[in-house]
Amino acid sequence: MDEKNVIKLMEVRSSSGDLLCSIKIKGIRIIPKEDNDNFFSNNSSVDEGNDSINDNLMTSAQKRYLFRLLAERGMDKEKAHAYLKNMFIVEDLKTVTKVEASQAIEKLLAEQKGVDNNKSPE
């Protein structure tokens, strides 16, 4: 099952155990807490000594490959962009991580292979 489609439930209880509220969360992405002013700058880091946040983001090669896979399905650039934003549940593809991009590539390749295996011989 695609992890993005899993709904997670978080419950808040009182010290006596009474349920105060429950929250359903779909496709959440946890971003490390960072200085808000510098969070999205190219030079920000998760903490001192770690690689920059951008080192964890989808590479341009991964992005090109995703668009190429969708183009092979007949999607133009705009439809592919909308499809990917929906797939990753993001407003901007710049926030997609390398891991998420790799998983999406694997998913698209598996779907493509499944379709190709069901084609009748010519």
Q: Where are the domains of the chain?
A: 3-39+56-117
Residue 53 · residue 46 · CB < 8 Å: yes
Q: Of 33-37, 82-86, 109-113, which range is least confident?
A: 33-37
pLDDT given for residue 10 in this prediction: 72
Which is it for strands 7-13 and 19-26: parallel, antiparallel or unpaired?
antiparallel
Single-letter amino acid code for the residue at 3:
E
DSSP at 26: E
Three-state DSSP class for 18? coil
In this prediction, residues 92-109 reach a mean pLDDT of 93
DSSP at 100: H
Structure tokens at 115: 């379709």
pLDDT in tens, 2-57: 444 555 667 778 887 777 887 766 665 555 555 444 444 444 444 444 445 567 99
More confidently predicted of 103 and 44? 103
